[in-house]
Amino acid sequence: MERVTKLASEKPVVIFSKSSCCMSHTIKTLFYDLGVYPTIYELDEIPGGCEIEQTLLRLGCNPSVPAVFIGGELVGGANKIMSLHLNRSLIPMLRQVGALWV
């Protein structure tokens, strides 16, 4: 839990992902298209990725990826991020944490 908390709080936007996950790719693309460049941890490519994935599941991420943290707080997965984007709440959140300036 400590490792996830530490990693998630180091940058304004952090995404835990898997390189083979199409929903992770979609969420990363959304952020890039908005002009946000999150820190991304590919759990299938980093040491300890399996342990991080188990921690994300314990935190309530189901499926475990993508897991998006904004301002060090777990926001949710793909469904939550897309819902926030569609109801126009995502951009204000990103501005609040300094991830987006426009």
- Can you tell me whether residue 43 is helix, strand or coil? coil
Do the domain assignments include residue 102?
Answer: no
Q: Are 24 and 17 in contact (CB under 8 A)?
A: yes
pLDDT digits (tens, 9 = 90+) for 58-91: 999 999 999 999 999 999 999 999 999 999 999 9
- Answer yes or no: is 23 within a domain: yes
More confident residue, 1 or 97: 97
Task: Answer yes or no: is 13 within a domain.
Answer: yes
Q: What is the mean pLDDT of residues 93-97?
A: 97
Q: What's 77's domain CATH number?
A: 3.40.30.10
Confidence of residue 37 (pLDDT cuts 50, 70, 90): very high
The number of folded domains in the chain is 1
Residue for token digits 């943290």?
Answer: 69
- Is 84 a domain residue? yes
pLDDT in tens, 7-23: 999 999 999 999 999 99
Give the CA distances from residue 6 to residues 21, 82, 94, 100, in Å, rounded to whole numbers and listed in that order: 24, 25, 19, 22
Q: Domain range for residue 21?
A: 1-97
* Domain annotation covers residue 76: yes
